[in-house]
Structure 1
């Protein structure tokens, strides 16, 4: 795991700020079909209503609200330069 990564617990505290009167709860979890990486969907209450956020686990073990970027084919001109 990356030493600079933020835990899922810290992200939930940051984004949803759960309290005893308005707790955050897991509504869905699983693995993505394409990359088989984990995701967790949490729901929490705010003063303006319910909020639902999906957190994605990246390959280095860190969690983020953005999904990991998938590897794409790339060309490298160094291989062809003489």
Structure 2
């Protein structure tokens, strides 16, 4: 994981609170051989469902924003 990066569990706790693992359901994921992947997490709240996408970056850290596409950045 990159410097300052966060694990998926840590990021979920940051956004959803300390009980994130018990409250959240993974509703979609991509975890193949490439260094990038994503996980969609859904939490039911009194105000309705909350859905968040967590993206794995090339350095192994997780963020709520997708990694930059190097080809698009160089164009």
CA RMSD of aligned residues (A): 2.5
How far apart, in 1, do the equivalents of 2:44 and 2:3 lie? 31
Contact 2:55 2:63 in 1 (8 A): yes
User: How many pairs were matched up?
Assistant: 71
Q: TM-score, normalised by structure 1?
A: 0.70
3-state SS of 2:41 partner: strand
Q: Within 5 A, what are the aligned runs for 1:2-41?
A: 2-17=2-17, 19=19, 23-30=23-30, 37-41=36-40
**5+ unaligned residues in a row in structure 2: which ranges?**
none
Q: Which residue of 2 aligns with 1:55?
A: 54
